[in-house]
């Protein structure tokens, strides 16, 4: 693993793959709700994602029953709730706006982390939170002058990102003990069970269209499965902290795809707000000493060596069976991964 050397061509390829898979999720959701009820979109997304991730040997590594309730809670907060909220919201707002607002997830992660620790953030982090949440208002401002349903949809996306902030803090100790992929896969299964009744009830309200089915299949297989494996691989090559720069690429991907495929209008005010949110997320995610940065918390508490081991075992189920991929011999660092939709 190269912690200081520049990214190699393969590293950039993995980074682009992760950013494209997660950044395109907003577009796929928007296409999916064009014909499917939002509950059905969430159900199919989880079904495709869990099925695809089950094909990865590392994801099937056993997890003690004692942690199943915590993983079930994680599935509800990280996946079931946000996936439903995004799908409902994107019936009324564009995919690019949803992608821009999703950039606030690291801000909520920092707030929840401060509440859990009982310590107020330092000056740079407080400034980052103020700048970032101010950016959320700037992003939303052009749309808040529209219909009431648009304002409500924006609130749903913000609520979803707040749930991400809770989830990424809940995920940290679980992933430290058992590795990222086993926890993520089981959280998906728990979320799938929770969403199934709503999703099945949404079938009568849906009309079949290949465009929506293919979009939801891509959403599940790419954004809800492949991206996690790709991020784990990237983190194993360059370390989780450096890999987590992908968080800065998600809003641009969502903006470009929304404009290119949906002809969505992107205002300069919203772009400026996205820049503020990104800058705020960077400041709010930095370590208190000013050394290093923590741009997100998808794979929190992952040491560089642990990430490298899990990347290897993603394709070799017998790799390092004597130790979980999420535990390092010297203790976990506070490296982390990006927030996703």
Stated pTM of the model: 0.83
Residue 140 C-alpha from the chain's centroid? 21
Q: What is the pLDDT of residue 321?
A: 36
Residue 310's pLDDT band, with cuts at 50, 70 and 90, is low
Q: Return the structure tokens found at 322.
A: 């004597």
The proportion of the chain whose per-residue pLDDT surpasses 70, expressed as a percent, equals 79
CA distance 324 to 222: 25
104 within 8 A of 122, measured Cβ to Cβ: no
Residue with tokens 């915590």: 70
| H-state helical runs in 202-226 | 210-218
Distances (CA, A) of 145 to 80, 132, 150, 158: 30, 21, 9, 17
Selection from 231, 232, 246, 243 nearest residue 308 by Cα:
232
Is the model's pLDDT at 295 over the cut of 90? no
Selection from 272, 309, 274, 279 nearest residue 295 by Cα:
279
The phi and psi torsions of 173 (rounded to 5 degrees) equal -65, -30
**pLDDT mean over 315-324:** 40
| Average confidence score pLDDT of the chain | 83
CA distance 143 to 294: 30
Q: What is the pLDDT of residue 309?
A: 55
Selection from 271, 270, 293 nearest residue 281 by Cα:
293
Is the model's pLDDT at 319 over the cut of 50? no
Q: What is the pLDDT of residue 62?
A: 93
**pLDDT mean over 142-147:** 66
Q: Return the structure tokens found at 272.
A: 């400026």
Domain residue ranges in the chain: 9-313
Q: What is the pLDDT of residue 296?
A: 39
Is the model's pLDDT at 204 over the cut of 90? yes
Is the model's pLDDT at 109 over the cut of 60? yes
Q: What is the pLDDT of residue 50?
A: 97
Does residue 324 or residue 222 have the better pLDDT? 222
Residue 308's pLDDT band, with cuts at 50, 70 and 90, is low
CA distance 275 to 288: 22
**pLDDT mean over 123-141:** 86
Q: What is the pLDDT of residue 145?
A: 64
Is the model's pLDDT at 202 over the cut of 50? yes
**One-character DSSP codes across 4-24:** SSPPPHHHHHHHHHHHHHHHT
Does residue 169 or residue 190 have the better pLDDT? 190
Is the model's pLDDT at 132 over the cut of 50? yes
CA distance 320 to 136: 43
CA distance 324 to 175: 9
Q: Which of 105-119, 182-196, 214-228, 325-339 has the lowest mean pLDDT?
A: 325-339
Q: Which of 49-63, 237-251, 269-283, 321-335 has the lowest mean pLDDT?
A: 321-335
According to DSSP, residue 242 is labeled H
The phi and psi torsions of 293 (rounded to 5 degrees) equal -135, 160
**pLDDT mean over 132-144:** 84
Q: Return the structure tokens found at 84.
A: 């439903």
Is residue 142 classed exposed, middle or buried when 0-12, 13-18 and 19+ CB atoms within 10 A define those classes?
Answer: middle
**pLDDT mean over 198-212:** 97
Residue 340's pLDDT band, with cuts at 50, 70 and 90, is low
Is the model's pLDDT at 287 over the cut of 90? no
Residue 308 C-alpha from the chain's centroid? 20
Is the model's pLDDT at 317 over the cut of 50? no
């Amino acid at each position: 693993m190269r912690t200081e050397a520049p990214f190699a061509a393969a590293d950039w390829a993995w980074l682009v793959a992760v950013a494209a898979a997660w950044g395109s999720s907003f577009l796929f959701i928007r296409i999916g709700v064009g014909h499917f009820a939002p509950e059905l979109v969430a159900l199919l997304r989880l079904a495709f994602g869990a099925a695809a991730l089950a094909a990865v040997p590392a994801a099937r590594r056993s997890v003690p029953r004692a942690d199943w309730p915590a993983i079930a809670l994680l599935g509800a907060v990280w996946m079931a709730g946000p996936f439903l909220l995004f799908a409902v919201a994107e019936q009324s707002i564009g995919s690019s706006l949803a992608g821009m607002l999703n950039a606030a997830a690291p801000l909520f992660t920092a707030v929840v982390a401060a509440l859990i620790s009982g310590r107020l953030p330092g000056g740079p982090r407080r400034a980052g939170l103020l700048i970032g949440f101010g950016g959320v208002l700037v992003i939303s401002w052009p749309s808040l002058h529209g219909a009431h349903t648009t304002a409500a949809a924006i609130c749903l996306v913000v609520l979803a990102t707040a749930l991400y902030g809770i989830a990424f803090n809940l995920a940290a100790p679980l992933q430290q003990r058992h590795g990222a992929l086993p926890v993520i896969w089981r959280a998906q299964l728990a979320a799938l069970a929770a969403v199934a009744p709503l999703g099945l009830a949404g079938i009568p309200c849906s009309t079949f269209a290949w465009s929506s089915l293919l979009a939801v299949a891509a959403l599940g297989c790419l954004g809800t499965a492949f991206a996690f494996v790709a991020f784990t691989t990237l983190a194993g090559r360059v370390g989780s902290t450096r890999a987590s720069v992908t968080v800065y690429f998600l809003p641009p991907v969502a903006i470009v795809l929304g404009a290119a495929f949906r002809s969505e209008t992107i205002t300069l005010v919203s772009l400026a707000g996205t820049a503020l949110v990104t800058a705020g997320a960077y400041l709010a995610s930095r370590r208190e000493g000013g050394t290093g940065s923590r741009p997100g918390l998808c794979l929190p508490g992952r040491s560089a060596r642990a990430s490298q081991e899990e990347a290897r075992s993603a394709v070799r189920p017998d790799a390092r069976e004597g130790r979980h991929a999420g535990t390092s011999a010297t203790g976990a660092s506070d490296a982390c991964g990006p927030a996703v939709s």
